[in-house]
């Protein structure tokens, strides 16, 4: 197993990027984008998650097997979101208000 030493300035840059993305998430929460509020918030959250996974969990410098397991995790998450959304969207036939 090879060890990769990440310079402190990379960690500081990632920290600043995460802080900026968090401030952006907070700012977007108060802006009315209509139907785009959720997609924009989820996009920012995915960006933050990728930074944490790649740098703080050291996946960027890991071997290919680690990348396979990370991809499998995201694939499973996509399956769960798709199943949840299919259930949510199909509930339009229920009577509302009673």
Per-residue DSSP letters for the chain? Answer: ----PPPHHHHHHHHHHHHHHHHHHHHHHTS--GGGHHHHHHHHHHHHHHHIIIIIS--TTS-HHHHHHHHHHHHHHHHHHHHHHHHHHGGGGSPS--
Domain that holds residue 87: 8-93
Q: Which two tokens stand for residue 81?
A: 């979101």
- Let me know if residue 2 belongs to a domain: no
Total domain count for the chain? Answer: 1
Predicted TM-score (pTM) of the model is 0.74
Share of the chain above pLDDT 90, in %: 60
The mean pLDDT of the chain is: 89
Is the model's pLDDT at 98 over the cut of 60?
Answer: no
> Which pLDDT band holds residue 5 (cuts at 50, 70, 90)?
confident
Is the model's pLDDT at 4 over the cut of 80?
Answer: no
What integer is the mean pLDDT of 53-73? 91
- Let me know if residue 1 belongs to a domain: no
């Amino acid at each position: 197993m090879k060890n990769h030493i990440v310079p402190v300035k990379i960690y500081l840059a990632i920290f600043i990027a995460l802080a900026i993305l968090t401030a952006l998430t907070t700012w977007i929460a108060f802006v009315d984008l209509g139907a785009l509020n959720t997609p924009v918030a989820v996009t920012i959250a995915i960006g933050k998650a990728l930074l944490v996974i790649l740098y703080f969990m050291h996946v960027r410098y890991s071997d290919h097997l680690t990348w396979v397991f990370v991809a499998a995790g995201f694939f499973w998450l996509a399956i769960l979101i798709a199943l949840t959304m299919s259930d949510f969207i199909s509930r339009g036939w229920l009577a509302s208000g009673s």
